Each structure stands twice: as structure tokens, then as C-alpha cells.
Amino acid sequence: MNPIHCAIVLCRPEESRNVGSVCRAMKNMGIVDLRIVADRASLDEAQVRTLAVHAIDVWDSARFFPPSVDGLRDALADCAVSGGTTRRLGQKRKSWGMTPEEFAGFHARAGGGTTAVVFGNERTGLTDEELELCSVAVNIPSSEDCPSLNLSHAVQIMSYAIFRATDSRLRGYEPIDAARRAALVSSISDHLTRVGLFKFAGKDGNERFLDGLFARAAVSEGEAARLERLFRRIAHIKTAGARCE
């Protein structure tokens, strides 16, 4: 079976044995793209390898990014949609969360694009800023008596859901990645600024809204280009009309 186009992203993991278990959980489900937002030296190589067992290659090929919000942004730059796992929601932490199966459906619709599942620190989870960079929030249902899952167990659940959904992926369709999506949002925002929509406020909030909307819709390159032409034409008509008044 070909590797599944899904990245598992670990933000600031503290327990090396957990990372080793994550490698094994990933490979069990055909996922081999591990990205770690931390310094490699912060993890005990021997402990990782002991728990990785037959998935040491996942560890050996893991990519590391600086332990910062910018590091996470770089880790997600080529991903069409990303799900940040969290138990806590609220005003600054997404208004709602998907189940693993619902996010796996997004993965299935991503065609040839890469998706990502993002996991926070074992003790504190994802920060507000880290979750904000993710397209959607993902909640793994669990008992109220013990709601917090071990990191590798959470990775196993998400990897299994994605593995099960893989056979239904669309063929011949590839959504744009996060970097291209940011350029699309910036282009549309610039055109809306030209027509005076953000004269007073609302630009940042609407940009975040559009980015999340386009990620969930798995917008393709052809659709992105058409949206850019549409908003460019709207801005041109509006500004040309204003000059004639």
C-alpha cells in the first residue's frame, strides 16, 4: 500500500517514549510523515527507538521545525487542511470541533493533497496561537471521568480514522496548500480593501474566516484562480464606477 498523504505534527513533545510510540501508531496505519515542532536534541534518541520498534524509519525521516508558532506555520505550509486536536473550545479556540471520522472525511476529499493532524504538548495541549493556525479543531470523544488521552493513543485513533477513509479519496483532484491559500486570502482581502470594505475594521477576522472556509472546502488551484479573477473584476468595476461619478 502506498503511504497515506497525511502528516502527523507534534508540537513541543516532552516524553521521548511517547514519540517512539507515535511512530509505531503511524506506521500501523500507513502514515509515515512525521513533523515535530521542537529541537531534535530535546528528545532522547535511545528511548524513541526503543518504543518505535518496527517504525524506526518514521523517526529517522522525521522533519524538525523551530519550537515556535512560526515553526508550526512552516510545518503546515504545504498542507491543504489541518486539524488541531483539543479538548477545550471557546472564543479563542475555534467555536466547534470535528470528530476523528468527520476530519477523516476532509482527508478523503483532499484528493492528492496533504492533510495534517496537529497534537500539542502532553501536559498543556495546543496553545491558542497554535490552534489558530489549524484549519479546524478536532475532538476525540472520551469519558468525562478520564477525558485526557495519552499522546500516542490519540495519534492511533486519528491515524485509524484516516486509514479507513483513504479508499474513498477523490482521484485527480488536488486542493491548494496552506501557503497558496494564504496568498488567495491576501489577494481577495486586498481587492475588498480597494472597494472600502475594511475602512474601519474587520480585515483580520474576515481573513481568518476565509482561510478556514477555503480549507474546509478543499479549494483547488483552478477554483482559487477563478476566485481571484472574480474579486479582481469586482474591485475594478467598483473603482471604475466611482471615478465616473
Give 183-217 pLDDT, tens digit per residue. 999 999 998 888 888 776 778 888 888 988 888 88
pLDDT of residue 166: 80
Chain centre distance of CA 61: 20
Average predicted confidence (pLDDT) for the chain: 88
pLDDT of residue 106: 82
What does the domain layout of the chain look like in residue ranges? Answer: 6-168, 178-244
Residue 16 near residue 48 (C-beta atoms within 8 A): yes
pLDDT of residue 41: 95
Query: Is the backbone of residue 86 left (phi > 0), alpha (psi -120 to 50) or beta?
Result: beta
Binned at pLDDT 50, 70 and 90, residue 241 comes out as: low
- pLDDT per position as a tens digit, 2-22: 668 999 999 999 999 999 999
CATH for the stretch 6-168 = 3.40.1280.10
Q: Which long-range contacts (CB under 8 A, 24 or more apart) does 186-190 make?
A: 187/228, 187/231, 187/232, 188/227, 188/228, 188/231
Binned at pLDDT 50, 70 and 90, residue 82 comes out as: very high
Q: What are the Cα distances from residue 66, in Å, to 35, 106, 132, 218?
A: 11, 28, 18, 28
What distance in Å separates the CA atoms of residue 129 and residue 163, rounded to the nearest whole number? 28
pLDDT of residue 202: 79
Grid cell digits, residue 203: 480585515
